[in-house]
Structure 1
Amino acid sequence: MSKALNIPKLKHKDSGNFFILAGPCAIEGEDMALRIAETIKKVTDKLEIPFVFKGSYRKANRSRLDSFSGIGDEKALKVLRKVSETFDVPTVTDIHSANEAAMAAEYVDVIQIPAFLCRQTDILVAAAETGKTINIKKGQFLSGSSMKFAVQKVIDSGNDKVMLTDRGTMFGYSDLIVDYRTIPEMQKTGCPVVLDITHSLQQPNQSSGVTGGNPQMIETIAKAGIAVGVDGLFLETHHDPSTAKSDGANMLDLALLEPLLEKLVRIRKAL
């Protein structure tokens, strides 16, 4: 695997499979995080898929003031650390300002830059300076080829452990599309490229102020991404998406994870 995936605790790196960054949208509590992580770990060990547990310690980008934003930064980051220690897996979380980078780096293995912030130089530089692997999400408003500049900012700051994630491109006012040309275009940077198969199905800008989604298309988006040759998948999953406190409308039901990954592994092997 690429040097950008030289992540501590990452298992099955020689399996030839794609890797996944998977977990709940937000850390809602310790029990739910451990429960979800345990299920994903069992499935990915069975299928020999490299797995990084994902969970946002805080949700800064909310449409409404009354939307759930987190259980407290330190409390949520400690949950991420406990997941890592309990299941011996690496973890990833997103940051929202430059001064959060060093704090998050004390608890997780991968620092993620949200799509809306992928052009923010101070955040990219601060993340790079942690020495962690940096996952930069492509802005919904950018082409794949333009992401080479975000990558270069991190490299020029002394960190070549970078990967890129496509999470769809804005189409009209209330929908996203996945342009699969973006995957090989971003792979030209030499970075591993990830396809976010759940956020790509968001339906933002709803009149209620709560983002909608189309999770019935998760399998379709994922199959196409693997067929195109994406290096990894990003997905958010929950044991009961209808009660999730963030992004439940586009999350994968945890019960559907294993059959989905089984299909995707078969496609990968066929390629």
Structure 2
Amino acid sequence: MTDPIKSLRTGPDAPPFLIAGPCVIEDRDTCLRIAEFLTRLTRKEGVPYIFKASYDKANRTSIGSFRGPGSDEGLRILEEIRREFGVPVISDIHSPEQAKSAAEVLDYVQIPALLCRQTDLIVAAAKTGKPVNIKKGQFLAPWDMENIVQKARSAGNGQVLLTERGTAFGYNNLVVDMRSMGIMKETGCPVIFDATHSVQLPGGQGNKSGGDRRQAPPLAKAAIAAGADGLFMETHFDPDNALCDGPNSVTFEMMEALLPQIVAIKAIVDGGGIA
């Protein structure tokens, strides 16, 4: 079937789609370099691609954490990436007041996990008419997302995506329940698995979060096998020196190795085998 969500195809015989980019807009050149790599790779593998980077990370661990360039400069960079590479762009908003101006540039509006129950924020995002990707809070069960989907639909927007990004598992740790993919798909929304935030260790380094990027590829493969329609993966050419979420971001080399495997797994799940 074809979704109303920007012509993304989901279900049997549809390729997995990818939302990826740096966690935050560090600068124009970094974003362009990452977008160029991911655009080239996804086109080679036949994977629909959406570029993601945050222009303002309002939910960082520390007051001293890098937040990004802000909305004006950040949206200009995202608009340039869309124009230069011909790919849709997505970023997150943190208040209802940001929705209208962000939607003038963004192809998709994203709701951060920690804000996924904020009714006014969801309704404002939905009222833009743009597809809305809502990340499941680390504190929620997958079936809790039905009520959140209804908030967006109440605003007349049926273009909703849901993203699984792990569940709080004690202090400074997350765990992934693969049953979440199928449960959230019962809402009728495409489901995405955020493989890199799911291996984050929130606040695990005192004044910043830690993570273990080595675990992202196996979890990504498991999620596609469990029925996820697409993946969300923070990607960086030098994650050890990234300004945000470096420990859980994957390298270019990891993404090059993973993407063909993801395509093959999706084909097997759909019953078509490997071509």
TM category (shorter chain) comes to over 0.9
Q: Which consecutive unaligned segments of at least 5 residues does structure 2 have?
A: 270-275
- Over residues 234-261 of structure 1, what are the superposed CA-to-partner deviations in whole Å (9 max), with x where a residue is unaligned? 0100010011100001000122211110
CA distance in 1, matches of 2:10, 2:182: 24
Shift of residue 6, structure 1, vs aligned partner: 2.1
CA distance in 1, matches of 2:198, 2:218: 12
- What residue number does 2:49 align with? 51
- What residue number does 2:3 align with? 3
- Over residues 43-73 of structure 1, what are the superposed CA-to-partner deviations in whole Å (9 max), with x where a residue is unaligned? 1101100100001011100111111011232
Shift of residue 269, structure 1, vs aligned partner: 1.4
CA distance in 1, matches of 2:44, 2:55: 28
Shift of residue 143, structure 1, vs aligned partner: 0.5
Q: Which consecutive unaligned segments of at least 5 residues does structure 1 have?
A: none
The aligned length equals 269
Shift of residue 29, structure 1, vs aligned partner: 1.0
Shift of residue 207, structure 1, vs aligned partner: 5.2
- Over residues 173-219 of structure 1, what are the superposed CA-to-partner deviations in whole Å (9 max), with x where a residue is unaligned? 11100001111000000000000000000001325221000111111
CA distance in 1, matches of 2:56, 2:12: 33
CA distance in 2, matches of 1:125, 1:270: 38
SS at match of 2:221: helix
CA distance in 2, matches of 1:17, 1:136: 21
User: What RMSD, in angstroms, separates the aligned Cα atoms of the two structures?
Assistant: 1.7
Q: For 1:38-117, list aligned pairs within 5 A.
A: 38-117=36-115
- What residue number does 1:123 align with? 121
- What residue number does 1:189 align with? 187
TM-score (norm 2): 0.94
- Over residues 144-167 of structure 1, what are the superposed CA-to-partner deviations in whole Å (9 max), with x where a residue is unaligned? 001001100100111000010000
- What residue number does 1:243 align with? 241
- Over residues 17-44 of structure 1, what are the superposed CA-to-partner deviations in whole Å (9 max), with x where a residue is unaligned? 1111111100111111111011001111
Tell whether the 8 Å contact from 2:61 to 2:207 is kept in structure 1 after alignment.
Answer: yes
TM-score (norm 1): 0.96
CA distance in 2, matches of 1:231, 1:182: 12
Rate the CA distance shift 1:112–1:200 in 2: closer, same or farther, 3 A: same
**What is the aligned-residue identity percentage?**
47
CA distance in 2, matches of 1:13, 1:192: 9
Tell whether the 8 Å contact from 2:10 to 2:229 is kept in structure 1 after alignment.
Answer: no
- What residue number does 2:197 align with? 199
Shift of residue 12, structure 1, vs aligned partner: 11
